[in-house]
Amino acid sequence: QVQLVESGGGLVQTGDSLRLSCAASGRTFSVYNMGWFRQAPGKEREFVSFITWNGGGTNYADSVKGRFTISRGNAKNTVYLQMNSLKPEDTAVYYCAKYSGGSYYSTEGYDAWGQGTQVTVSS
């Protein structure tokens, strides 16, 4: 089973940028489609972004489109989430996950999750 470890979160101000990383174990990372989700206090985990195994296809939630960019470095077994123009409503724990099938925007479509990294955006 793949192990996922997120990093790069922190406390920033409105308008700042952060880059999250998700490091994966295992030799077959390059064949996995991957996703990023986030969960704010008292809310359900929600879809943020998705990337295909070769980086050729990406999708974003409307709330982050134009501000966030997902990418991957298969040689480093890592998926990234570049977050620009951050807003207080982006405050959440961010999780990366390995896609297993079904709807890519649903948590049910993923079968492996990292422990999450906290992102806090102050106003």
Interval 32-91: pLDDT, tens: 999 999 999 999 999 999 999 999 999 999 999 999 999 999 888 999 999 999 999 999
Alpha-carbon gap, residue 27 to 88, rounded angstroms: 37
Alpha-carbon gap, residue 72 to 78, rounded angstroms: 6
Tracing tokens 């390059």 back to the chain, one arrives at 30
Question: How many CB atoms within 10 Å of residue 73?
Answer: 13
Above 80 in pLDDT, residue 27? no
Of all residues in the chain, the percent with pLDDT exceeding 70 is 100
Instruction: Give the pLDDT confidence score for residue 1 in this predicted structure.
Output: 82
Alpha-carbon gap, residue 54 to 44, rounded angstroms: 29
